[in-house]
Amino acid sequence: MLKFLKFPIALLLATACLAASAQPLAEADTARLEQRALHLAEQLRCVVCQNQTLADSHAELAQDLKRELRAQLASGASDQAVLDFMAQRYGDFVLYRPPLKSQTWGLWFGPLLLLLLGAWILRGVLRQARAGASVEDDDEKLRKVRA
């Protein structure tokens, strides 16, 4: 939690300090831009080291892509435009949040399906266990009656 807050607090302090300086707006803009860039880089996969985000990766291509990403944001591109730019070139694979389309249905709904399957199996098992238990109860009673 503390770590999570560290960056926004630092940012807040930085902007507060800068508010007194000559060009407070430009600096605040830069900070906001930097934050947006970081947020986007965390949602994109590095294609060179495929288990890292762009934000984490130090691969040369990742550095280039981060620079490109920043430049696009600075020239007024929306977050979605930047994500589209990356996906158009490197494929949906680079999006850590894959878009919902027919090829990704399995990805989005597969886990839910597995959960339902699990619930259904569990129900069967419980029902059988209960039936088994009641048979044992009956056996017990029968033995008592006979005794």
Residues near other proteins (CB under 8 A) are 47-48, 60-61, 64-65, 68, 87-93, 132
**Token couple for 110:** 């597969």
Choice between 35 and 63, CB closer to other proteins: 63
The minimum distance between CB 110 and other proteins, in angstroms, equals 15
Q: What is the DSSP string of 52-91?
A: SBTTT---HHHHHHHHHHHHHHHTT--HHHHHHHHHHHH-
Residue 28 or 59: the one with the smaller Cβ distance to other proteins is 59
In the bound complex, what is the minimum distance in angstroms from residue 93's beta carbon to other proteins?
6
Contact status, residue 94 vs residue 82, Cβ threshold 8 Å: no
Could you say which DSSP state residue 83 is in?
H
Quickly tell me which residue has 């507060």 as its tokens.
16
Nearer to other proteins (CB atom), residue 38 or residue 48: 48
Residue 85 makes CB contacts below 8 A (sequence gap 6+) with 68, 72, 77
Name the minimum Å distance from CB 78 to other proteins.
19
CB of 47 to other proteins, least distance (A): 4
Local structure of 13: helix, strand or coil: helix
Residue number, 14 or 131, with CB nearest to other proteins: 131
